[in-house]
């Protein structure tokens, strides 16, 4: 489980360093919200795990895969420095809503 937690932190760090600026468009906010929701879900799962349940591990691996795929898509979609900054700011804002 520790490996999964560290893997999650690496994914979260890479996704948060994606992107940050003032005005953000609705599409950027929506995309950031999607990624933030997945990251929040993973945080919750990581905090509640520890039982060694195989189904929990399987679900967390599936969620990790979704986070990675979406992060790669966002890297492509917001490849310019300006868009990257806007997305990063929107992602940081959306991540504030995590419990």
* Number of domains into which the chain is organized: 1
Q: Using N-to-C axis directions, what is the helix angle for 2-16 and 26-48, rounded to 10°? A: 170
CA dihedral 15, 4, 62, 16 (to 10 degrees): -10
| Residue 16 reports pLDDT greater than 80 | no
Q: Hey, what are 7's tokens?
A: 């893997």
Helix (H, G, I), strand (E, B) or coil at 3: helix
Give the span between the Cα atoms of 14 and 57, in whole angstroms.
22
Instruction: Decide which of 99 and 93 is more confident.
Output: 93
- Domain residues for the domain of 35 are 2-95
Give the span between the Cα atoms of 70 and 35, in whole angstroms.
7
Q: pLDDT tens digits, residue range 27-77?
A: 999 999 999 999 999 888 877 766 566 677 788 889 999 999 999 999 999
| Residue 1 reports pLDDT greater than 70 | no
At residue 58, the pLDDT reads 81
At residue 33, the pLDDT reads 94
């Amino acid at each position: 489980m520790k490996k999964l937690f560290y893997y999650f932190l690496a994914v979260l760090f890479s996704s948060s360093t994606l992107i940050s600026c003032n005005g953000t468009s609705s599409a950027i906010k929506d995309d950031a919200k999607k990624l933030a929701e997945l990251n929040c879900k993973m945080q919750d799962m990581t905090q509640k795990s520890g039982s060694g349940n195989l189904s929990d591990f399987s679900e967390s691996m599936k969620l990790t895969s979704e986070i990675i795929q979406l992060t790669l898509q966002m890297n492509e979609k917001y490849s310019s420095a300006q868009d990257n900054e806007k997305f990063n700011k929107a992602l940081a804002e959306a991540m504030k809503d995590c419990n």
